[in-house]
Amino acid sequence: MGEKLATRSAYGEAVTALGARDPGIVVLDADLSSATMTRQFSQVYPERFFNMGIAECNMMGVAAGLAACGKKPFASTFAMFAAGRAFEQVRNSIAYPRLNVKVVGSHGGLSVGEDGATHQCCEDFALMRAVPNMLVCCPCDGHEMRLAVEALAAYDGPAYLRLGRLAVETVTDSIPGYQFKLGEGAVLRDGADVTLVAVGLMVQMALQAAETLAGEGIDARVIDMHTLKPLDEGLILKAARETGAIVTTEEHNIIGGLGEAVAGYLGGACPVPVVRHGVEDCFGRSGKAAQVLAHYGLTPEGIAAAARRAAALKK
Amino acid sequence: MDQEKFKRLSLTAARGRIRAMEMVHRAASGHIGGSLSAMDILTALYFDVMRIDPARPKDPDRDRFVLSKGHCTPALYAVLALRGYFPQEDLKLFRSIEGHYSGHPDMNYVPGVDMSTGSLGQGISAAVGMALAGRLDRKDYRVYALLGDGEVEEGQVWEAFMAASKYKLDNLCAIVDINGLQIDGRTSDVMPSEPLDAKFAAFGCQVIPADGHDFRSLEAALAQAAEHRGGPSVILARTVKGKGVSFMENDAGWHGKAPNDEQFAKAMEELQAALEGWEGN
């Protein structure tokens, strides 16, 4: 376990570092640069930073126009407004013409905490996955976020990147053999009895759940599925065949996110029990991030319980 | 503008109206009313004002055009074909499964289309982005966007002009095709948006009134826009929806309806007569 860092902070650092190397990188924000952490970029490269004000729909269109002229825009705001409010602009002005815009949604999921339900976006994976041409990515820690930003800058096409508000343990820098590649999940822990397929903040919790399960004699594999789309079907298929049961876990509605992506794929490829762990189709509420996550069962224990159910369904 | 140029532009627009009418009739669908109101504006841009080369449609230094009222592809495709971006024969593929000449323009398939549009209010934002990119790259290209007067009911349009004004985008010129009608009727009944001059001025734009069917007026307005410094320009072009076909003029019913064979024959008769009038002129 390494430093504790919010993925939004890593994003701010990474996009600023990119700016030094690539003059084509431009960053747009919608009056949230101190929260999405693009302020750093704005201070170092003020001529390439555009604060579009509280007008996310226009921001996405402007990003599309910049991309149509060869720029590489990162358009950042809260996940709720990037994927939600500006959904149709992302669909029609960015994804449909396949423009090279990175749509960046910070403060994804319940771990927004105190701001409550209006700002706790648990639908962004569903919205962005459903749009053709979109790549959807949600790194689990600061280390992975830096690698993801690098990879996304090199990827020529529209993508959605979810950032988290909460400082989280960095885990991927200490896993032997860990490599980041867009579209390829990373096996963080091997196991034979059940596979925990996790994304974002739930990756760290899945590793903790695997420890708990090991104490009960359940050998859990943990996959960090940072790219939800395109889904690493090969890795999922292998896990299904070798462990016979899958748990998906995400800080997102169980409708439309990682769980449905995995279950939908396996239903036609290798039907095994798939238990979807996540937000049970309800809105969030205010509270400290840890309290809110616990209230909705987004805890290592919640994942472990789901894993026991999945293992029991194998028979 | 000398008479020679005036005649040349009038002839081109007359041909464009004929092509647009043929496209909509053949496809048995499409937006003819707004295409006829926009035809002279598009002709002025593509045959007089814009710095473009149809042989190099991706030239990074070219002027850009965004059809923010993206449903008026019959006019756009006709003008692009007449200008030489692709064969006029291709216009037969309008709205057909056989080609890529979609109901709304796709920048990845149609040569000369600088932005995929169709959802109202979005094109102008992309035009703002293009103008910002030109500024960043220290290029002197200009960006034009055509909006409808119904389209300005979209809040995003005003977000875009706030940004264009903030960034002092004097390389951006928007033209509003004010034909006074939208699908459900008169814009003044559906959602009154006037006074547009005061509204655009309040959003930091140089506002230029023009007659959208008079090439001299359009030329003067576009020249005035090009000379303006420190902010975007908006040309408020007064037009007639369905212009050039007597029974389509000023009738909201012709927003998105194709003529039947009888109506087509009558429309073509009028459009041909107008063309021949210019040819004999």
Model confidence band, residue B280 (pLDDT cutoffs 50, 70, 90):
confident
Residues with Cβ within 8 Å of residue A120, at least 6 apart in sequence: A80, A107, A109, A110, A112, A283, A284, A292
- Domain CATH for B183: 3.40.50.970
Shortest CB distance from B125 goes to which of A61, A67, A73?
Answer: A61
**Contact status of A65 with chain B (Cβ, < 8 Å):** yes
Over range A270-289, report the average pLDDT. Answer: 98
CB-based contacts of B138: which residues, under 8 Å, 6+ apart?
none
Look at residue A3 in the predicted model and tell me its pLDDT. Answer: 79
Query: Is residue A41 helix, strand or coil?
Result: helix
In this predicted structure, the answer to whether residue A1 has a pLDDT above a threshold of 70 is no
* Residue B281 confidence (pLDDT) above 80: no
Query: Of B101, B123, B120, B119, which Cα lies nearest the Cα of B111?
Result: B101
**Catalytic, out of A3, A13, A47, A56:** A56
Contact list in B for residue A69 (CB cut-off 8 A) is: 60, 64, 129-130, 133-134, 137
For residue B193, CA distances in Å to B4, B37, B124, B148, B180 come to 38, 19, 17, 12, 10
Provide the number of structural domains found in chain B: 1
Residue A2 has what pLDDT? 64
Does the predicted interface ipTM exceed a cut of 0.95? yes
The answer to whether B145 touches B204, Cβ cutoff 8 Å, is no
Q: How far is CA A289 from CA A33, A165, A166, A296, B240, in A?
A: 21, 9, 8, 11, 58
| CB < 8 Å to B136, chain A | 26, 47-48, 71
Pairwise CA distance, residues B77 & B88, whole Å: 9
Q: Which residues contact B273 (CB under 8 A, 6 or more apart)?
A: none
Residue B178 has which token pair? 């004010």
How far is Cα B116 from Cα B110, in angstroms, rounded to an integer? 10
Report the chain B residue with the minimal C-alpha distance to residue A51.
B163
Share of chain A above pLDDT 90, in %: 98
Q: pLDDT tens digits for B97-142?
A: 999 999 999 999 999 999 999 999 999 999 999 999 999 999 999 9
Q: Which A residues 98-127 touch B at CB under 8 Å? A: 98
Q: Rounded to an integer, what distance in angstroms lies between the CA atom of residue B190 and that of residue B175?
A: 21
Give the nearest chain A residue to B114 (CA atoms): A68
Query: In whole numbers, what is the pLDDT of chain B averaged over residues?
Result: 97
β-bridge mates for residue B74, sequence order: none
Q: Which residues of A touch B107 (CB under 8 A)?
A: 68, 97
pLDDT band at B88 (very low <50, low <70, confident <90, very high): very high
Query: With contacts defined as CB-CB under 8 Å, which chain A residues touch B166?
Result: 53
Rounded Cα distance between A289 and B95, Å, is: 51
* Out of B106, B130, B162, closest to residue A65 by CB: B130
Phi first, then psi, for residue A248 (nearest 5°) are -105, 145
Structural tokens at position B212? 């959208």
Q: Hey, which residues 238-297 in chain A have their CB within 8 Å of chain B?
A: none
Q: Is A7 helix (H, G, I), strand (E, B) or coil?
A: helix
Enter the tokens of residue B48. Answer: 């007089």
User: Token pair 């909201």 is at which residue?
Assistant: B252
Q: Give B116's contacts in chain A (Cβ within 8 Å).
A: 92-93, 96-97
A56 given a catalytic annotation: yes
Burial degree of A188 (CB within 10 A; 0-12, 13-18, 19+) = buried
Using the predicted structure, report yes or no on whether residue B182 has a pLDDT greater than 70: yes
Contact A69 B124 (CB under 8 A): no
Interchain CB distance below 8 Å, B107 and A64: no
d(CA A146, CA A139): 9
| Cβ proximity of B190 and B196 under 8 Å | no
Q: What angle (nearest 5°) sits at the alpha carbon of residue B134, between those of residues B128 and B135?
A: 90
| Chain segment B32-86, per-residue pLDDT in tens | 999 999 999 999 999 999 999 999 999 999 999 999 999 999 999 999 999 999 9
Q: Could you read off the pLDDT of A235-248 as tens digits, one per residue?
A: 999 999 999 999 99
Measured between alpha carbons, how far is B112 from B260 in angstroms, rounded to an integer? 30
A207-246 per-position pLDDT tens digit = 999 999 999 999 999 999 999 999 999 999 999 999 999 9
pLDDT tens digits along B265-274: 999 999 999 9
Cα gap A305→A157, rounded to integer Å: 39
Which domains can be identified in chain A, with CATH numbers? 4-169 (3.40.50.970), 183-312 (3.40.50.920)
Nearest to B132 among A66, A93, A96 (CB): A66
Other Cβ atoms within 10 Å of A125 Cβ, number: 34
CB A41 within 8 A of CB A12: yes
Query: How crowded is residue A187: how many other Cβ atoms within 10 Å of its Cβ?
Result: 17
Under a CB-based contact definition with an 8 Å cutoff, are residues B252 and B182 in contact?
yes
Would you call the peptide bond into B74 cis, given omega within 30 degrees of 0 as the criterion?
no
> What are residue A257's phi and psi, to 5 degrees?
-105, -145
Structural domain for B112, as ranges: 3-279
Using alpha carbons, select from B73, B95, B156 the residue that is nearest to residue B120. Answer: B156
**CB-based contact B162 A53, cutoff 8 Å:** yes
DSSP assigned state of B203:
T
